[in-house]
């Protein structure tokens, strides 16, 4: 009689299962051309984990395609994304092949805000209370002293759903609130009607940088932009803002804005600049800020750290602190 030795089929079964296990999915990358090498390395590691490593020629082709698509996307919008679709397919012989596709997604800034706004669990992106600096400027430079006087007019650019505009109107100022996102503007209008602030507060949906958009000349006592220049991408866009604001301000009146400024001596590389823009935190040099104001009737009267000011002046436990800036 022949003895039958125990036979362990587990390794063969696992190899067969591995051959039958397939993969597919999408990976979304922000369009940062300077990060192309890191993206290629990430994808190479992923495919190696699937047992489908790229050969050198494929890696070179992948790098070229990614860089071309990312450069195109980044030039059009800081919100652009690359979609890398992959599928590891099986054959009748239990071999595997890989198919990849690269596409470009270009959501607008307004669409990005709309997406955030619709999130049920989203906390206020810019905090739940008014900027302390905005309220201080009004109290110190534009106080409402006598009932019956013409109300100072305020233009809130990037008003969102009224974090600043509503408290200012409640202090008896005349406020025009502008935001590029229709969803947020509609929410502000709903709030205004609910608390009966009409006609003291008027809300409009508009893009400040749209060449077709202009404001009434010599109309406002204060124009402020809170967390707006963080979306600007160039000195030219900064200058467009300064030009429009200069025209709509009354002579001798005030512009207040915040922005991210690089520290003296720091020269951001391409990676830092591109990342700051896709993170809605566009970084500028002080020299760029000054160049954008060349030959305009603007005079600097205050320059301080926004994050330090807000930390020092906001009451505790009044809500999330607005994102910090440096101006």
- Between CA 110 and CA 106 the distance in angstroms is 11
Query: Is 160 contained in some domain?
Result: yes
Are residues 132 and 47 part of one domain?
no
Are residues 132 and 59 part of one domain?
no
Task: Evaluate whether 169 touches 135 at the Cβ level (below 8 Å).
Answer: no
pLDDT of residue 120: 53
At residue 319, does pLDDT exceed 60? no
Are residues 275 and 165 part of one domain?
yes
pLDDT of residue 144: 84
- Give the strand pairing for 81-90 and 23-30: antiparallel
Per-residue pLDDT of 231-282, as tens digits, reads 999 999 999 999 999 999 999 999 999 999 999 999 999 999 999 999 999 9
Percent residues over pLDDT 90 in the chain: 69
At residue 7, does pLDDT exceed 80? no
Query: Is 2 contained in some domain?
Result: no
Are residues 59 and 146 part of one domain?
no
pLDDT of residue 324: 34
Are residues 256 and 138 part of one domain?
yes
Task: Evaluate whether 208 touches 157 at the Cβ level (below 8 Å).
Answer: yes
- Between CA 106 and CA 79 the distance in angstroms is 7
At residue 148, does pLDDT exceed 70? no
pLDDT of residue 18: 76
CB atoms within 10 A of CB 3: 4
Q: What total of structural domains would you count in the chain? A: 2
At residue 95, does pLDDT exceed 70? yes
For 57-109, give the secondary structure using H, E and C: HHHHHHHHHHHHHHHHHHHHCCCCEEEEEEEEEECCCCCEEEEEEEEEECCCH
Query: Is 185 contained in some domain?
Result: yes
Are residues 295 and 195 part of one domain?
yes
Are residues 180 and 97 part of one domain?
no
- Give the strand pairing for 96-105 and 153-157: unpaired
At residue 123, does pLDDT exceed 70? no
**What range does the domain containing 60 cover?**
21-107
| CATH number of the domain residue 307 falls in | 3.40.50.150
Are residues 196 and 57 part of one domain?
no
Are residues 254 and 130 part of one domain?
yes
Per-residue pLDDT of 18-53, as tens digits, reads 778 888 899 999 999 999 999 999 999 998 988 888
At residue 321, does pLDDT exceed 90? no
Whole-model pTM above 0.85? no
Query: Is 170 contained in some domain?
Result: yes
> Rg of the chain's alpha carbons, rounded to an integer?
27
- Between CA 184 and CA 82 the distance in angstroms is 27
- Give the strand pairing for 220-225 and 153-157: parallel
- Between CA 247 and CA 143 the distance in angstroms is 23
Torsions phi, psi for 49 (to 5 deg): -65, -25
Are residues 142 and 211 part of one domain?
yes
Query: Is 12 contained in some domain?
Result: no
Least Cα distance to 166 among 128, 137, 215, 139 occurs for 128
Q: Which of 100-114, 118-132, 247-261 has the highest mean pLDDT?
A: 247-261
At residue 284, does pLDDT exceed 80? yes
Per-residue confidence at 4, pLDDT binned at 50, 70, 90? low
Query: Among residues 76, 107, 138, which one ends one of the domains?
Result: 107
pLDDT of residue 84: 95
Per-residue pLDDT of 178-225, as tens digits, reads 999 888 899 999 999 999 999 999 999 999 999 999 899 999 999 999
Query: Among residues 72, 107, 142, which one ends one of the domains?
Result: 107
Query: Is 278 contained in some domain?
Result: yes
pLDDT of residue 98: 82
Query: Is 10 contained in some domain?
Result: no
Q: Which is it for the CA torsion 311, 314, 319, 323, positive or negative?
A: negative
For the chain, give the secondary structure using H, E and C: CCCCCCCCCHHHHHHHHHHHCCEEEEEEEECCHHHHHHHHHHHHHHHHHCCCCCCHHHHHHHHHHHHHHHHHHHHHCCCCEEEEEEEEEECCCCCEEEEEEEEEECCCHHHHHHHHHHCCCCCCCCCCCCCHHHHHHHHHHCCCCCCCCCCCEEEEECCCCCCCHHHHHHCCCEEEEEECCHHHHHHHHHHHHHCCCCCCEEEEECCCCCCCCCCCCCCEEEEEECCCHHHCCCHHHHHHHHHHHHHHEEEEEEEEECCEECCCCCCCCHHHHHHHHHCCCCEECHHHHHHHCCCCCCCCCCCCEHHHHHHHHCCCCCCCCCCCCEC
Are residues 145 and 73 part of one domain?
no
At residue 325, does pLDDT exceed 60? no
Are residues 243 and 135 part of one domain?
yes
Arithmetic mean of pLDDT over the chain:
87
């Amino acid at each position: 009689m022949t003895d039958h030795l125990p036979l362990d089929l587990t390794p063969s079964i696992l190899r067969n299962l591995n051959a039958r296990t397939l993969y597919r999915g999408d990976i979304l990358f922000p369009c940062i051309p300077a990060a192309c090498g890191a993206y290629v390395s990430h994808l190479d590691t992923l495919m190696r984990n699937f047992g489908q490593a790229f050969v050198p020629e494929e890696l070179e082709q992948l790098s070229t395609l990614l860089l071309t698509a990312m450069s195109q996307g980044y030039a059009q919008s800081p919100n652009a994304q690359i979609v890398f679709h992959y599928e590891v397919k099986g054959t009748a012989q239990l071999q595997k092949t890989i198919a990849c596709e690269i596409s470009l997604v270009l959501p607008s800034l307004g669409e990005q805000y709309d997406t955030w706004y619709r999130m049920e669990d989203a906390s206020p992106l810019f905090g739940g209370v008014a900027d302390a600096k905005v309220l201080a400027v009004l109290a110190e430079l534009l106080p409402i002293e006598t009932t019956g006087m013409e109300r100072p007019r305020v233009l809130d650019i990037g008003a969102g759903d009224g974090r600043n505009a509503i408290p200012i109107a409640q202090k008896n100022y005349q406020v025009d609130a502008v935001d590029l996102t229709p969803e947020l503007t509609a929410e502000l209008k709903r709030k205004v009607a609910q608390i009966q602030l009409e006609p003291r507060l008027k809300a409009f949906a508009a893009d400040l940088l749209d060449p077709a958009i202009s404001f009434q000349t010599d109309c406002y006592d204060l124009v402020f932009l809170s967390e707006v220049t963080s979306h600007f991408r160039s000195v030219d866009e900064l200058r467009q803002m300064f030009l429009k604001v200069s025209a709509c301000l009354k002579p001798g009146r005030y512009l207040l804005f915040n922005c991210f400024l690089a520290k003296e001596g720091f020269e951001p590389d391409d990676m830092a600049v591109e990342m700051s823009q896709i993170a809605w935190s566009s970084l500028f040099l002080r020299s760029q800020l000054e160049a954008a104001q060349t030959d305009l009737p603007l005079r600097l009267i205050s320059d301080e750290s926004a994050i330090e000011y807000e930390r020092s002046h906001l009451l505790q436990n009044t809500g999330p602190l607005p994102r910090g800036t440096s101006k």
